[in-house]
Structures are given as C-alpha cells and as structure tokens.
Amino acid sequence: MFTSYRANNPDLYRKEIYTGKEAKISFKQGLNVAGRMAPNEREIALTLSKDGNPEIYLIGVTGRVRKRITDNWGIDSDPSWSPDGAVWLLSPIARATRTSLLPTSLAARRSA
C-alpha cells in the first residue's frame, strides 16, 4: 500500500507485487495516508482528514469507510496492527501525549 499525489490529492493505492497492477483504494477529499492492512487482510486502518482533522479510520479493502476510530483535536496518524489484530498502535503527532496502544474492542466502542 502507498500514498500518491498523482491526482493532486494524497490518495491511497494498493499494488500487487507479482503483477504490478495498481488500484486506488481511498480517494476522499483531504488526506488518505498511512494505510495498514489488518492481519486478516479484510480491513485497512489509515489516516483520513475528510472531516477536516486527521483521524484514524477503518475501511474495507474496497475503500468503504466502516468506522471512525479516533475523534479529537490532535492529529492522529500512523496506525499499526498487532500481529493478532487485537491492538492498534496510534501515534498522536500534534498532542503532547505518548504513542498509545488501543485495543480494537475499545476502539470499536468509541466509534459506535
């Protein structure tokens, strides 16, 4: 997965290693960056700024938004998955707080 500005917006793409085929996954207005595939390969955690402030979202592999994970004034970026898919690692860039671990079950409750 990678982000490209080729369409004058930071859009998220997926590239097949063996064929070289590329597909645009997320192309909402604003940031579509830091995409990380879940260990089960059914979901992608990424940073979107479609509502103004960069937040962590969960999307399907087709790009459909499933859940907003964070909702705060800071810039949340660079989500990562634990190997079992149970925890996200979030890096709050513009806040004076540490990087945090967020259990996916807690994240799901926060976004509901």
Helix/strand/coil percentages in the chain, nearest 5: 5, 45, 45
% of the chain residues with pLDDT over 70: 77
Q: What pLDDT score does 107 carry?
A: 47
Q: What pLDDT score does 2 carry?
A: 95
From residue 109, give the alpha-carbon distance in Å to each of 58, 83, 85, 93, 104.
13, 21, 16, 23, 9
Tens of pLDDT, residues 25-61: 999 999 999 999 999 899 999 999 998 889 989 999 9
Q: What pLDDT score does 69 carry?
A: 86
Distance CA 84, CA 94 (A): 28
Distance CA 27, CA 44 (A): 14
The model's pTM is 0.78
